[in-house]
């Protein structure tokens, strides 16, 4: 986040903003949340939780809140009983997906590469 960026980031004088992006997508589940929403579209909380096997309720909520605050995901509440809450990517969030695809490809190559070491 730009405001407390000076505490965490060292890329001097805004010459590069990699760290800004990484601050958004790091965190144990953020990338996976974004990837899931990006490839599978809008999802409710419980669906998301099921997709991300192993995530705790607390962490999912927490990371979704942060992403929402940053304007990367939207949270839509349907005032029903039982409550329904849906999450989806904003435009800014969708623009991360192609980058994730590249990271995914790199990751696969890396795994192969490591076998050759």
Partner DNA sequence: CAGCATCCTCCTTGATACTG
Partner DNA sequence: CAGTATCAAGGAGGATGCTG
Residues of the shown chain interacting with a copy of itself in the complex, contacts defined by CB under 8 A: 2, 8, 10-12, 16-22, 24-26, 28-29, 31-32, 35, 52-55, 70-71, 92, 95-96, 98-100, 102-104, 106-111, 113-114, 117
The item of a copy of itself, DNA, none sharing an interface with residue 82, based on CB under 5 to 8 Å by kind, is DNA
| 3-state percent breakdown (helix, strand, coil) of the chain, nearest 5 | 60, 10, 30
- Six token digits for residue 76: 């839509």
Smallest separation (angstroms) from DNA to the CB of 27: 4
Pick the stretch among 11-19, 33-41, 62-70, 106-114 that binds DNA (CB under 7 A).
62-70
Smallest separation (angstroms) from a copy of itself to the CB of 96: 6
CA separation for the pair 60, 28 (Å, rounded): 10
CA separation for the pair 58, 11 (Å, rounded): 32
DSSP secondary structure letters along 44-60: EHHHHHHHSTT--HHHH
The item of a copy of itself, DNA, none sharing an interface with residue 110, based on CB under 5 to 8 Å by kind, is a copy of itself
């Amino acid at each position: 986040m730009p405001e407390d960026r000076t505490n965490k980031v060292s890329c001097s004088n805004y010459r590069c903003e990699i760290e800004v992006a990484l601050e958004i997508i790091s965190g144990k589940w953020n990338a996976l949340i974004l990837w899931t929403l990006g490839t599978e579209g809008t999802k409710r909380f419980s669906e998301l939780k099921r997709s991300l096997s192993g995530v705790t309720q607390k962490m999912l909520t927490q990371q979704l809140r942060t992403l929402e605050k940053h304007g990367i995901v939207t949270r839509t509440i349907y005032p029903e009983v039982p409550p329904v809450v849906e999450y989806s990517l904003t435009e800014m969030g969708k623009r991360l997906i192609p980058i994730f695809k590249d990271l995914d490809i790199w990751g696969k190559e890396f795994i192969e590469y490591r076998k050759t070491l």
